[in-house]
Amino acid sequence: MRVAVFLTAIASVTAFNVTVTNHWNGGFQGKFSINADHAIYGWRAHIVCNNPLDKLEVLKADLTETRNGNKEFVLESKPFDANIADGGSQEVDFICHFTESIVPNCAVTVNSGRSHSQYPGQQTALPFPSEQRRTQGNGTRLSRAVSAMKYDYAKALSLSILFYDAQRSGKLPPHNHIPWRGDSALHDGDNGHDLSGGWYDAGDHVKFNFPMAMSTHTLLLGFIKFQDVYKHFHQKDMMCDMIKWPLDYFLKCWIPSQQTYYFQVGDPNKDHSFWGRPENMHMDRPAFKITPAHPGSDVAGDTASAFAAGHIAFKTICGNAAYADTLLQAAKSIYDFAKNHQGIYSKSFPQGGYGSNGFKDELSVAAAWLYQATHDAKYLNDAKQFHETGYLLYEITKNVTYKNEIIHYVKDNKPGGTATYTPCGLLWKDQWGSNRYAANGAFIALLAAVDGIETHDYVTWAMSQINYLLGDNNYGISYEIGFGSKYPQHPHHRGSACRTTTTQCSFADPGPNPNVLNGALVGGPDAHDHYEDRRDDYVKNEVACDYNAGFQGALAGKIKK
Ligand SMILES: *[C@@H]1O[C@H](CO)[C@@H](O)[C@H](O)[C@H]1NC(C)=O
Ligand SMILES: *[C@@H]1O[C@H](CO)[C@@H](O)[C@H](O)[C@H]1NC(C)=O
Ligand SMILES: CC(=O)N[C@H]1CO[C@H](CO)[C@@H](O)[C@@H]1O
């Protein structure tokens, strides 16, 4: 196996391939990426510097040896994040601290495969043989879940709303619901254009509009569809308040007169090298925009969906007609922008954290939402024209072609379809945020069930997934923080992990997070139901706006059916 190493590092263009572009008195930030031309299961990196460092800090790898008077360091991949797919790459950030006035030069060599077999858990991340996938979880385990209201789903729903309130960036309102959060990133903007507000994406503090907009319209779909559940459990006002936050932010990001849409604030590299509360961060937070010359119909399309769905919610549920009108105008203009200037945003902006490989789906969903908001036939025609897959088109037309797509999707997710199941019965699609895929699948099944497709069967299956997440699993834990008596204590989330009383915060602090991140659905178990509550395992323990979106809709749908 050969691995190529590129130092894109942030240190002076002298010897040893290291470039320091960002150093301060006593420190510099570096990064290397491992590009794999074969699948890699574990790697080791050897860093050699010409001057001693006081300390080397790494987040995404373990520092296993320090040699030669602090000039040489050995890093090893984390057991739960050791694998790099063929053609994939992994970036490793590090921060060096030194006392000499001369900036040290460092070089890195990387070997794939581990020299020590110190990680007994290594094989858990390896793919299953395909025969095993098919035979697991054929439905027999699911039957025990069928006991109507086994958990307090309304409580789980109300907690999920609070998770989004904990993700708020900008100037918090007087009624802020999260006691350990304060104002942050008040100066986000570009040349005097204010871009404060919105949601932090996950455990980090970048604002990525692509997942933010997708989460917003997914949450709104569940809210509109299951609004009586929100009303019955007195969550309507909380939800209207929660969902207005990203919508207000998108209104700041979209400047129709200039055909400009800001889709990201924050540089993932700079952001990820800081472990502290958003209230204490001081790194540069650049803003990125799409324009007709650098289009992004994917991110603009999802934002149009958020605006149009927001229009319906604020007009028909939240009782704010003026705001609903503002949202509709924005939905129409950004949809035109997305449709008239077609392109994939991540092609123009590789520094974006979330890639995209197309935009037809986003345009179709946006047009379908706009049709629901306006009943203007031109939007329905567009929705059909751009359509790839979709639930909304079935809602609108009841056409059997679209119905069959939904049936096919759910069938594929259920036992007996092509999807992988854990031995305990969780639909498992990926090691990153495995819980989210199960929750999304449950949400779609419940939407279909409410529309009369295979009702009983779909509800039973969706309930098995939700119950797994809330406690029907091998550990008897809830993967939603704050729910029940046993839940994750160490989510990978800086605001939750750092104390409010000091600006010092150590990633390696062994204690539970001092601030409880109520409502967050953590990443989830591996394909063997194996999970560890460790902050450094961001694969299983990160949280994110998009993880909770389908989950919250599924909880409301579960109560409804
Ligand atoms: C599949 O279901 C049958 C009963 O219908 C059961 O005997 C068998 O053990 C199940 N297989 C798995 C892997 O759960
Ligand atoms: C349903 O949709 C399909 C695909 O767009 C189309 O070919 C078909 O004519 C539609 N059926 C009806 C009854 O409108
Ligand atoms: C990846 C890379 O930039 N490698 C360079 C490191 O430095 C040596 C010697 O200066 C070059 O030959 C490599 O191409």
Cβ count within 10 A of residue 381: 12
- pLDDT value of residue 25: 62
Pocket test of ligand 1: the residue of 128, 134, 138 to mutate, having most ligand atoms within 8 Å of its CB, is 138
For residues 161 and 259, give the distance between their C-alpha atoms in angstroms, rounded to a whole number.
33
- pLDDT value of residue 39: 67
For residues 301 and 214, give the distance between their C-alpha atoms in angstroms, rounded to a whole number.
10
- Residue 261's φ and ψ, nearest 5 degrees, are -130, 120
Our answer to whether residue 165 is catalytic in this structure is no
Q: What is the CATH number of domain 153-560?
A: 1.50.10.10
- Residue 304's φ and ψ, nearest 5 degrees, are -60, -40
Pocket test of ligand 3: the residue of 3, 17, 34, 48 to mutate, having most ligand atoms within 8 Å of its CB, is 17
For residues 201 and 256, give the distance between their C-alpha atoms in angstroms, rounded to a whole number.
25
Tell me if 66 sits within 8 A of 96, measured CB to CB: no
Helix (H, G, I), strand (E, B) or coil at 93: strand
Which residue has its alpha carbon closest to ligand 2 atom 3?
401
Distance set, CA 52 to CA 106, 416, 423, 435, 490 (Å): 10, 58, 49, 44, 33
- The matching CATH number, chosen from 1.10.340.30, 1.10.287.3510, 2.60.40.290, 3.40.50.920, for 3-127 is 2.60.40.290
For residues 229 and 234, give the distance between their C-alpha atoms in angstroms, rounded to a whole number.
9
What is the DSSP secondary structure assignment for residue 103, as one 8-state letter? P
Residue spans of the domains in the chain: they are: 3-127, 153-560
Our answer to whether residue 472 is catalytic in this structure is no
Of 286, 211, 296, the closest CA to residue 259 belongs to 296
- pLDDT value of residue 16: 29
Residues of the chain falling short of pLDDT 70: 1-26, 36-41, 86, 99-103, 112-149, 350-353
Global pTM? 0.75
Of 488, 530, 531, the closest CA to residue 513 belongs to 488
Cα(139) to centroid(ligand 1), Å: 8
Query: What DSSP letter does each residue of 253-290 carry, written as one string?
Result: HEEGGGTEEEEEES-HHHHHT--S-GGG--S---EEEE
